[in-house]
Amino acid sequence: MKRILIVDDQELYLNSLAFALQKHFEVVLATSKKDALEKLQEDVHIALIDIRLDENDEANIDGIKLLEWLKMNKPGVSVFMMSAYKEFSYAEQSLNLGARHFFRKPIDVFSLLAILKEKS
């Protein structure tokens, strides 16, 4: 079973995604960039990362920084990005940096599963 790391600072949303995916993947959770980097010491096949990992900081794009780190240090990990924010530049930047797909929150679980299985 593939291991997926889900990174989001909103614990309720994080737990709901974990619940939805646990039958299909071994789920690992992180609530910050620092937490995610620690979890990435383990073998992870897929990463689903929120763009903003600190809702109180409008300039925060730790998710994109984590995507860049993954592409440089663990290029075999399939990275998927998500955000509730409407700025198209986040989606464009994520895809240009190598994300396989960009999801707008709230994410439809059936679409999420189909895309994760198809593109990872």
The strands making up 78-83's β-sheet, listed across from edge to edge, are: 26-30, 3-7, 46-50, 78-83, 101-104
* Amino acid present at 42: E
Q: What pLDDT digit, counting tens, does each position of 43-94 carry?
A: 999 999 999 998 777 778 899 999 999 999 999 999 999 998 877 788 899 9
Q: What pLDDT was estimated at residue 73?
A: 97
pTM of the shown model: 0.95
Nearest to 6 by CA among 38, 29, 34, 37: 29
Domain containing residue 81? 3-119
> What is the number of structural domains in the chain?
1
CATH number at residue 10: 3.40.50.2300
* Amino acid present at 85: Y
